[in-house]
Structure 1
Amino acid sequence: MNLDEAVVVALGSNLAGGYGSSEALLEAALARFAQAGLPVLSRSRWWVSTAWPDPRKPEYRNGVVLVEAQMDAEQTIRTLFRIEAAFKRRRGAANAPRTLDLDLIAHGRTVLDTPELALPHPRAHDRLFVMGPLAEVAPGWRHPVLGRTAAELAAQASVGADARPL
């Protein structure tokens, strides 16, 4: 796979909903990707981290997938929002507990800043719970703006510094 063309999606959950565990919910969400037009090419293990910024909230489970997308970035994010809605994601306060969080981290080398979408994701490079899983599946992936690899960014990430594979 050409990492310059990679479509990178981060998944997160700290509310299991009716799935018994966040890992089960995340697996169920991943099962919807292909039928939504986003077949998974590669995936990380699930990672665990303390909720941020409020560590009293339930722990998060996170992971990263590389997907094939025959759609543009705006269509891709709308597809991810539809998957979130199917898992009863409610958008409210920032960083609030959630059943499912799907973030489009990168869509190839696309750089965008619109009201609907910023690419690459503006904070992903500093989050170990994103860069750690990404470095696991694509350590040589390069940030489209910063030019640094996922492995380099994971080594320097400061948010979610306790993140680790399950």
Structure 2
Amino acid sequence: MAQVFLSLGSNIDRAKHIRAGLDALAKAFGDLNVSTVFESEAVGFEGENFYNLVVGMHTDLPVGQLASRLREIEDANGRVRGGAKFSARTLDIDILTYDDLAGEFDGVKLPRGEIVKNAFVLQPLAELVPARRHPLTGETFAEMWEHYDKDKQKLWPVHFSWP
């Protein structure tokens, strides 16, 4: 079984959609390792703040089938597709890493580029698996977070309980 890390985000009825996403992931994949939930300002557009977190899990689905299953979960939570790339979201679930794969698999580029760009991805990932290494850079996620320019994006932990 592959070890997978996912990024979840929502800025529309945030708590409801994050909980529903976690419930659906747990039902489909079993035990989840869940980071702290962080609130951050919208990136790339003016909008409500997001809740973001990282989830670790195991799956025997290949990358493409996993991506399809994640889209189904997003759609079940009212995700609207076809709009602007940077826009409000009920639920956004992205594959960050799938084992140590690097490259494009079934149309999914791995590892996801947002790991090195966005604090709302890197900080919860570094919290969850600090010693795990980025498949391309070889740095641990803790090292990457330590070197990240923390003035670039503001985020803060929020009280969130699940289940």
Q: TM-score, normalised by structure 2?
A: 0.87
Task: Report how far residue 41 of structure 1 moved.
Answer: 3.1
Matched, 1:110 2:107: no
Residue of structure 1 in register with 2:138 after alignment? 147
Cα gap change, 1:14 to 1:158, in 2 (>3 Å): farther
Matched, 1:70 2:60: yes
Do the aligned partners of 1:127 and 1:157 also contact (CA within 8 Å) in 2?
no
Residue of structure 2 in register with 1:29 after alignment? 21
Task: Report how far residue 158 of structure 1 moved.
Answer: 4.8
2:80 aligned to which of 90, 93, 96: 90
Cα gap change, 1:88 to 1:138, in 2 (>3 Å): same
**Residue aligned with 1:23, SS:** helix
One-letter amino acid of the counterpart of residue 137, structure 2: L
Larger displacement relative to structure 2 (121-130 or 100-109): 121-130
Residue of structure 2 in register with 1:99 after alignment? 90
Do the aligned partners of 1:10 and 1:62 also contact (CA within 8 Å) in 2?
yes
Do the aligned partners of 2:63 and 2:105 also contact (CA within 8 Å) in 1?
no
One-letter amino acid of the counterpart of residue 28, structure 1: A
Residue of structure 1 in register with 2:11 after alignment? 14
Residue of structure 1 in register with 2:51 after alignment? 61
**Residue aligned with 1:27, SS:** helix
Do the aligned partners of 2:64 and 2:105 also contact (CA within 8 Å) in 1?
no
Residue of structure 2 in register with 1:138 after alignment? 129
Do the aligned partners of 2:64 and 2:106 also contact (CA within 8 Å) in 1?
no
Do the aligned partners of 2:126 and 2:141 also contact (CA within 8 Å) in 1?
yes
**Residue aligned with 2:142, SS:** helix
What RMSD in Å do the two structures reach over aligned CA positions? 1.8
Question: Percent of aligned pairs with the same residue?
Answer: 30
**Residue aligned with 2:97, SS:** strand
One-letter amino acid of the counterpart of residue 127, structure 2: E
One-letter amino acid of the counterpart of residue 108, structure 1: D
Give unmatched runs, 5+ long, in structure 1.
Answer: 17-21
Structure 1 runs of 4+ with >3 Å offset = 156-160
**Residue aligned with 1:88, SS:** coil
Give unmatched runs, 5+ long, in structure 2.
Answer: 159-163
Residue of structure 2 in register with 1:19 after alignment? none
1:48 aligned to which of 24, 30, 39: 39
Do the aligned partners of 1:12 and 1:102 also contact (CA within 8 Å) in 2?
yes
**Residue aligned with 2:113, SS:** coil
**Residue aligned with 1:53, SS:** coil
Residue of structure 2 in register with 1:157 after alignment? 148
Larger displacement relative to structure 2 (109-118 or 97-106): 109-118
Q: TM-score, normalised by structure 1?
A: 0.86
